[in-house]
């Protein structure tokens, strides 16, 4: 009888200690995020949009969200000034977690590099993306990066365009 009780206790202890897997290095959601990044790099805006739920919210360095359509317009404006851009293949890290509220999140850390058309300047910016998935689509996404160098370059580009415009006006007045 003692052996039966000890066996029962051993089974209870072993099953009580069993934990659900909560961290993943591969999943359909990770593949979906990688596909969205690829769609961005290839300017396939329909594929990019299909990554999100119809009411998806995107937070870019902000506590205020924008719509997927607004994000696409912002990305189109940014990428139109670039001759080359994309995430570096090496040094990327992606994981999926299921949090304590049973929500599915995919985290991405990577290095985004670009080259500007107007002067050939190259930038490399670390980026963190975290996206919550519901039924295989991103319903909420948070994107964080230090945009200081990117903003400075766009400001320099705007200033150069303004100087060029003023120079052309001055030449036409002569």
CA atoms within 13 A on the CB side of 22: 9
**Any idea what the CATH number is for the domain that residue 110 is in?**
3.10.450.50
Residue 121 sits in which domain range?
20-146
- Tell whether 63 is covered by a domain: yes
Instruction: With a cut of 90, say whether residue 27 has pLDDT above it.
Output: yes
Residue 14: both structure tokens together:
């072993």
- Tell whether 7 is covered by a domain: no
- Tell whether 59 is covered by a domain: yes
- Tell whether 136 is covered by a domain: yes
- Tell whether 56 is covered by a domain: yes
Backbone dihedral region for residue 135 (phi beyond 0: left; psi -120 to 50: alpha; all else: beta): left
Instruction: With a cut of 70, say whether residue 20 has pLDDT above it.
Output: yes
- Tell whether 157 is covered by a domain: no
Residue 94: both structure tokens together:
């992606």
User: Three-state SS for 29?
Assistant: helix
pLDDT at 15: 63
pLDDT digits (tens, 9 = 90+) for 33-80: 999 999 999 999 999 999 999 999 999 999 999 999 999 999 999 999
Residue in this structure with the two tokens 């050939």, named with its chain if needed: 120
- Tell whether 11 is covered by a domain: no
67 vs 161, which has greater pLDDT?
67
Residue 173 — very low, low, confident or very high, per pLDDT cuts 50/70/90? confident
Backbone dihedral region for residue 113 (phi beyond 0: left; psi -120 to 50: alpha; all else: beta): beta
pLDDT digits (tens, 9 = 90+) for 85-100: 999 989 899 999 999 9
- Tell whether 67 is covered by a domain: yes
pTM of the entire predicted model: 0.81
Residue 163: both structure tokens together:
């100087």
C-beta of residue 133 within 8 angstroms of C-beta of residue 32? yes
**CA-to-CA dists, residue 128 to 60, 98, 110, 120, angstroms:** 10, 18, 7, 25
Residue 118 — very low, low, confident or very high, per pLDDT cuts 50/70/90? confident
Question: How many domains are contained in the chain?
Answer: 1
């Amino acid at each position: 009888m003692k052996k039966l009780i000890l066996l029962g206790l051993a089974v209870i202890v072993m099953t009580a200690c069993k934990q659900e897997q909560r961290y993943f290095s591969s999943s359909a959601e990770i593949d979906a995020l990688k596909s969205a990044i690829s769609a961005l790099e290839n300017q396939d805006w329909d594929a990019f949009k299909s990554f999100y739920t119809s009411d998806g919210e995107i937070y870019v360095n902000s506590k205020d969200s924008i719509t997927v359509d607004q994000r696409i317009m912002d990305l189109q404006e940014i990428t139109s000034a670039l001759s080359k851009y994309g995430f570096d293949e090496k040094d990327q890290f992606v994981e999926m977690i299921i949090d304590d509220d049973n929500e599915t999140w995919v985290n991405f850390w990577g290095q985004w590099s670009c080259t500007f058309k107007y002067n050939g300047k190259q930038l490399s910016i670390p980026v963190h993306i975290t996206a919550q998935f519901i039924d295989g689509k991103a319903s909420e996404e948070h994107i964080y990066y230090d945009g200081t160098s990117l903003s400075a370059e766009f400001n320099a580009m705007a200033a150069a365009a303004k100087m060029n415009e003023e120079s052309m006006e001055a030449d036409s007045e002569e």
